[in-house]
Amino acid sequence: MGKNMIRVGLLGMGTVGSGVFEILKMNEEQVRSRAGAGIEVKKVLVRDLEKERPVKIDRKLLTTDPEEVLKDPEIDVIVEVIGGTGVSRQYVEEALRNKKFVITANKDLMATAGAELLLLARKHNRNIYYEASVGGGIPLIRPLKHSLGANKIIRLMGIVNGTTNYILTKMSMENMDFETALAEAQDKGFAEQDPSNDLEGKDAAYKLCILAGLAFSSHVRFADVYTQGINNISKRDIFYARELGFAIKLLAIGEENEKGLALKVHPTLIPLSHPLAAVHYENNALFVVGNAVGETMFYGLGAGALPTGSSVVADLIDVARNINHQVENGIMETEFKTKKIVPTEELFSAFYLRLQAVDKPGAFANLATAFGDEHVSLDMILQKRSVEGLAEIVLVTHAVEEKRFAQALKTIKGFPAIKKINSVLRVFEK
Amino acid sequence: MGKNMIRVGLLGMGTVGSGVFEILKMNEEQVRSRAGAGIEVKKVLVRDLEKERPVKIDRKLLTTDPEEVLKDPEIDVIVEVIGGTGVSRQYVEEALRNKKFVITANKDLMATAGAELLLLARKHNRNIYYEASVGGGIPLIRPLKHSLGANKIIRLMGIVNGTTNYILTKMSMENMDFETALAEAQDKGFAEQDPSNDLEGKDAAYKLCILAGLAFSSHVRFADVYTQGINNISKRDIFYARELGFAIKLLAIGEENEKGLALKVHPTLIPLSHPLAAVHYENNALFVVGNAVGETMFYGLGAGALPTGSSVVADLIDVARNINHQVENGIMETEFKTKKIVPTEELFSAFYLRLQAVDKPGAFANLATAFGDEHVSLDMILQKRSVEGLAEIVLVTHAVEEKRFAQALKTIKGFPAIKKINSVLRVFEK
């Protein structure tokens, strides 16, 4: 029963597209046996027919006309690997209207238009698969939808941006400064020439929208996510953090409590004994806490042709099974509600603070009083020998309501003895 | 369309059974929304109607008569959490013959009779779900079947026994000796009163049968797995390993190469930078290398009522969807072949060796010559100051064919200057 061959229209032939093409060739038998059908790329939409490709591909498959792919009645499934939210969105919509299944590796698209697109898919009795949109090759979407389906998810914490993790790892393990680490990441192709989306945490925030949406069955928008980047992290912070028993990681965090959802991306001091602290270089990981399963983690490469291709082809296998068995086997994201977002200032967090103070009697007492007035209690204090009359002080607080910490910080900034607030970072306290 | 309520017959009400029952109550709405139907335990087979249970359960649900559960026409799915391979196998077979879906948390059953049971299920157009049989709450079966379905799996390395990982972690992090750590594991309920199945690596070997079967699409038997336990690991080995940059972990390893499958469970020195080295205490993890995805890892609690229950209920959700959509959504394990097993002596491994030698000229030269004759080359050597004329020597070799290393070791044992071979352990070289 069913089709012997599932035909694919590929939109885009960049890194991910090439990876998909290569895996379908390299693991052809494996894929056929798992899918219960062959999977064949029938047409590929490209911008430039003449461009050199990283994989060998029959010229006859290439076209510059989207209609040739989207309207081909033999094509069962459209794989969108163009990226962005412009034409890619139009193509996906047209594909769904033409009764194609859709697979996308496009996090921007799913984060900004996922809800509408999934509804459109539902309307046409089709589905959108997007395992590759977050975490590259790491299975994240399926585990959240299926394997952990019996859990209320309490917390997600993810290292979901390889560029920033690479930079932070280089700074930590090889004592590199930020600029050198960034330049190396760019050399290796992990960071783009304009790396601001990565460094400012925006890329991670898009991914958090997708993950938190699934975890908390809620439509989450980019604007719901508080975002702080890693631009201001210095080698000194990484050094002090380690001395205090922490690694610094850019974490995408989603939590649900009785007040609603908390959604944040920020550099975080995390205990060295935490599994996320051992996620190095360009690797990604998602740490998930469920009310039944407890703590779990999913780890692997978050980008690259073959890892991301691995997720796309897993989706293709699912689509093939769906086509041949007329199945709806996903959790229906279209039934999600929109949950309340808790403002950051009402959240609780511990803080790390590094500052320069004039080394004279009473300076520290003032500091301590300012914190005490806002009920901020101190967990760790480091003060090394002063240089030229200036003392560098590092403090870690216990968890406190963010607005109280902010108020204390404002007071402290007004003290004449405080010369500079170098860093303010959040600390994850288990 | 479909049923509003899926009815479950629970065989057994121990730790896992109670966990399943509790999750179905605690997360009732969540489960209903994900399953598309309510899930209700209709009958529970127990041995003793009077026994105190960890969860509150209506006495009317309990029965001591298996037929009352297995023959109830209203029951759609049987959850087998009795364990062992005796009556549990009979019950599962009868359930399948009665056209029930089956979910089991029973690794012994799946490792020893999985192939036959899956065939029987196929014959009756039903299926067996066994996510909970390995790795407790960690999603492992689904990722291997689905998420990584586009990959040829090159290697699996798992910490799949919580008891031994707890003991090794205690020895490593808290400088405890083996006996004390074992006693503590028993106190905490991680280790059984007769812990030999865990300590000798048998429990891990059963789990490897299930995982390797799926990863390599092959029927794997317990007898195919080479097994070495942790009984002989001493604090000194853990100390030296750390000094050389390694943690010692009991790993279940499956690899496929051109000669066939290699299947082993043994204590392994693994670099401290490897993600498995950061898996502490009772946590489990499976590290999977695929030819597309690269390195991935799945981490979490490998046992316990709620974690294991989380996997059983995830399977229940899948069954509910299957019942209501007449779906076959799994990879068919019944189509697996039986692949050739490579004998251990033909495998390659690096080795760690700790021995006591008389501290006199020529002793080390003899050792080195014996290794050289078998083409064993040395990677690391540690020799501390001798005590009472005896030197403790620690060696790490490069990878070598196991039979060559064994031959060299035999020669060395014959040297009069070698007083004792304390430890021989394998080393994972990436």
Q: Which positions 243-302 of B are in contact with A (Cβ < 8 Å)?
A: 273, 275, 277-280, 285, 290-301
- Per the document, the length of chain B is 430
The closest of B96, B86, B84, B85 to B9, measured between CA atoms, is B96
- Give the span between the Cα atoms of A42 and A72, in whole angstroms: 9
Closest by Cα among A69, A49, A48, A45 to A59: A49
Residues of chain B contacting A313 with CB distance shorter than 8 Å: 149-150, 292
One-letter amino acid identity for B285?
Answer: A
Specify the pLDDT at position B328.
54
Let me know: does B107 contact B131? Beta carbons within 8 Å. Answer: no
In whole angstroms, give the CA distance from residue A402 to residue A384.
Answer: 27
For residue B331, name the pLDDT band (cuts at 50, 70, 90): low
Nearest chain A residue to B299 by CA distance is A297
pLDDT tens column, B279-318:
999 999 999 999 999 999 999 999 999 999 999 999 999 9
How far is CA B190 from each of CA A257, B52, B85, B107, B194, rounded to the nearest angstrom? 31, 21, 22, 17, 12
Q: Are strands B128-129 and B101-104 parallel, antiparallel or unpaired?
A: parallel
Please write the tens of the pLDDT for every residue from A40-84: 999 999 999 999 888 899 999 999 999 999 999 999 999 999 999
Bridge-based pairing of strands A260-271 and A226-227 is parallel
User: Using an 8 Å Cβ cutoff, are B134 and A126 in contact?
Assistant: no
Does residue A330 register a pLDDT over 80? no
- Residues 6 or more apart whose Cβ sits within 8 Å of residue B315: B103, B129, B130, B131, B132
B240-to-B27, B237, B394 alpha-carbon distances in Å: 47, 5, 8
Q: What is the pLDDT of residue B372?
A: 95
Same domain, A145 and A133: no
Tens-place pLDDT, residues A82-119: 999 999 999 999 999 999 999 999 999 999 999 999 99
pLDDT top residue among B383 and B140:
B140
Alpha-carbon distance of A59 to A31, in angstroms, equals 24
CA atoms within 13 A on the CB side of B322: 22
pLDDT of residue A324: 85
SS3 call for A355: strand
- Mean pLDDT, rounded, of chain A: 94
What's residue B212's pLDDT? 97
Q: What 3-state class would DSSP assign to B368?
A: helix
In a shared domain, residues A217 and A318: no
- Identify which of A349, A346, A345 has the alpha carbon closest to the alpha carbon of residue A425: A349
pLDDT classification of B406: cutoffs 50, 70, 90: very high
Residue B237 shares a structural domain with residue B201:
yes
The helix/strand/coil state of A191 is coil
pLDDT digits (tens, 9 = 90+) for A385-404: 888 889 999 999 999 999 99
Beta bridge partners of A161: none
Whether residue B233 lies within 8 A of chain A, CB to CB, comes out as no
Residues B259, B368, single domain; the answer is no
H or E segment and range at residue A197? helix A196-199
Q: Which residue of B has its CA nearest to A320?
A: B329
The closest alpha carbon to A300, from A274, A316, A281, belongs to A281
Predicted pLDDT at B327: 56
Look up residue A66 and give its DSSP letter. H
What is the pLDDT, as a whole number, of residue B388? Answer: 87
Cα three-residue angle B396-B398-B404, rounded to 5 degrees: 100
The secondary structure of residue B345, as a DSSP letter, is G
Tell the residue number behind the tokens 């974690």, with chain if given: B307
Residue B234's domain spans which residues?
A: 143-301
Determine the length of chain A.
430
- Strand bridging mode B260-271 / B128-129: unpaired
Give B-chain residues touching A304 at CB under 8 angstroms: 294
Q: Same structural domain for residues A55 and A159?
A: no
* CA gap A81, A84 in Å, rounded: 9
Encoded tokens for A378: 């101190």
Mind listing the pLDDT tens digit for each residue in B194-230?
Answer: 999 999 999 999 999 999 999 999 999 999 999 999 9
Instruction: Determine the 3-state secondary structure of B40 from DSSP.
Output: strand
The pLDDT of residue A336: 80
Query: What tokens were used for B147?
Result: 């998420």
The average pLDDT across B154-169 equals 97
Looking at residue B167, its pLDDT comes to 97
Residues of B in contact with A289 (CB under 8 A): none
Residue of chain B minimizing CA distance to A173 = B273
Amino acid (one-letter) located at B402: E
- Picking from B33, B151, B278, the nearest residue to A278 by CB comes out as B278
Question: Is the CB of B327 less than 8 angstroms away from the CB of A327?
Answer: yes
Q: What angle do CA A224, A227, A232 make, to 5 degrees?
A: 175
Interface test with B, best of A127, A129, A131, A151 (most B CBs within 10 A): A151
Region of poorest pLDDT, from A191-200, A382-391, A403-412, B284-293: A382-391
Residue B343 pLDDT level (bands cut at 50, 70, 90): very high
Same domain (yes/no): B206, B253: yes
| Amino acid letter, residue A116 | E
What confidence tier does B1 reach under pLDDT thresholds 50, 70, 90? low
The shortest C-alpha distance from B298 to chain A (Å) reads: 5
User: Hey, what amino acid is at B247?
Assistant: A
DSSP string, A393-415: EEEEEPPEEHHHHHHHHHHHHT-
Alpha carbon of B217: minimum distance to chain A alpha carbons (Å): 10
> What would the DSSP string read from start to end of B59-84?
GGGEES-HHHHHT-TT--EEEE-S-S
Taking CA A192 as the corner, what is the angle to CA A186 and CA A197, rounded to the nearest 5 degrees?
A: 125
Q: How far apart are CA B165 and CA B177, in angstroms?
A: 14
Is A84 near chain B, with CB under 8 Å?
no
Which residues between 293 and 322 in chain B have a beta carbon less than 8 angstroms from any beta carbon of chain A?
293-301, 304, 306-307, 309-311, 313-314, 316-318, 321
Same domain? For B266 and B221 the reply is yes
Question: Among residues A335, A354, A386, which one ends one of the domains?
Answer: A335
Helices (H) and strands (E) in chain A, counts: 14, 17
Angle at B186 between CA B184 and CA B190, to 5 degrees: 100
Residue B258 has pLDDT above 60, yes or no: yes
Q: Identify whether residues B133 and B148 lie together within a single domain.
A: no
Task: Name the residue among A160, A165, A145 with its Cα closest to residue A107.
Answer: A160
Query: Looking at CA atoms only, how far is residue A234 from chain B in angstroms?
Result: 23
Which of the four pLDDT bands, split at 50, 70 and 90, describes residue A319? Answer: very high
Contact criterion met (CB below 8 Å) for A160 and A284: yes
Residue B385: per-residue pLDDT: 81
Contact B210, B195 (CB under 8 A): no
B-contacting residues of A 323-352, CB under 8 Å? 325, 327-329, 331, 335
Residues B161 and B227 in one domain: yes
Average pLDDT (A119-131) is 93
Q: Which residue has the higher pLDDT, B325 or A232?
A: A232
Which residues touch A22 (CB under 8 Å, ≥6 apart)?
Answer: A55, A305, A306, A309
Q: What is the CATH number of the domain that holds B399?
A: 3.30.70.260
CATH number at residue B160: 3.30.360.10
d(CA A301, CA B293): 7
* Mean of pLDDT values over B314-325: 90
Distance from CA of A164 to the nearest CA of B (A): 19
* pLDDT attached to residue B332: 62
**Count of alpha carbons within 13 Å of A233, Cβ hemisphere only?**
35
Q: How far apart are CA A308 and CA B216, in angstroms?
A: 22
Residue B42 has pLDDT above 90, yes or no: yes
Chain centroid offset of residue A66 CA = 30
pLDDT band for A191, please (50, 70, 90 cuts).
confident
Cβ of A297 within 8 Å of Cβ of B296? The answer is: no
What's the confidence (pLDDT) of residue A54?
83
Q: Which CATH number goes with the domain that contains B111?
A: 3.40.50.720
Answer for the pair B167, B182: CB distance below 8 angstroms, yes or no: yes
pLDDT confidence bin for B48, thresholds 50/70/90: very high
CB A263 within 8 A of CB A254: yes
- Distance in angstroms (rounded) separating the CA atoms of residues B103 and B75: 13
Query: How high is the mean pLDDT of chain B?
Result: 94
Q: Which residues of B are catalytic?
A: 207
Say what the pLDDT of residue A327 is: 56
pLDDT, one tens digit per residue, over B379-388 is 999 988 888 8
A317/B152 touch (CB, cutoff 8 Å), yes or no: no
Distance of alpha carbon A214 from alpha carbon A118, whole angstroms: 13
The stretches of B200-286 forming alpha helices (DSSP H) are 202-216, 235-243
If asked whether residues B16 and B131 sit together in one domain, one would say yes
| Catalytic position from the list A43, A100, A107, A207 | A207
Please report which confidence band the pLDDT of residue A334 belongs to, taking 50, 70 and 90 as the band edges. low
B288 and B186, same domain (yes or no) = yes
User: Are the beta carbons of B232 and B155 closer than 8 angstroms?
Assistant: no
Q: According to the 3-state scheme, what is the secondary structure of B92-125?
A: HHHHHHCCCEEEECCHHHHHHHHHHHHHHHHHCC
User: With 0-12 CB in 10 A as exposed, 13-18 as middle and 19+ as buried, what is B388?
Assistant: exposed
CA B184 to chain centre: 21
Instruction: Pick from B129, B151, B339 the residue to mutate for testing the A interface (most A CBs within 10 Å).
Output: B151
**Surface-to-core class of residue B410, CB atoms within 10 Å of its CB (0-12 exposed, 13-18 middle, 19+ buried):** exposed
Which three-class secondary structure state does DSSP give residue A350?
strand
Res. B398: pLDDT tops 60: yes
Place of tokens 């009665």: B98
Could you tell me which of B290, B284, B90, B277 has the C-alpha nearest to residue B204? B284
Contact A208, A326 (CB under 8 A): no
Q: Do B23 and A292 touch (CB under 8 A)?
A: yes
B267/B413 same-domain check? no
Q: What is the pLDDT of residue B59?
A: 93
CA dist., res. A367 & res. A377, Å (int): 11
Total domains in chain B come to: 3
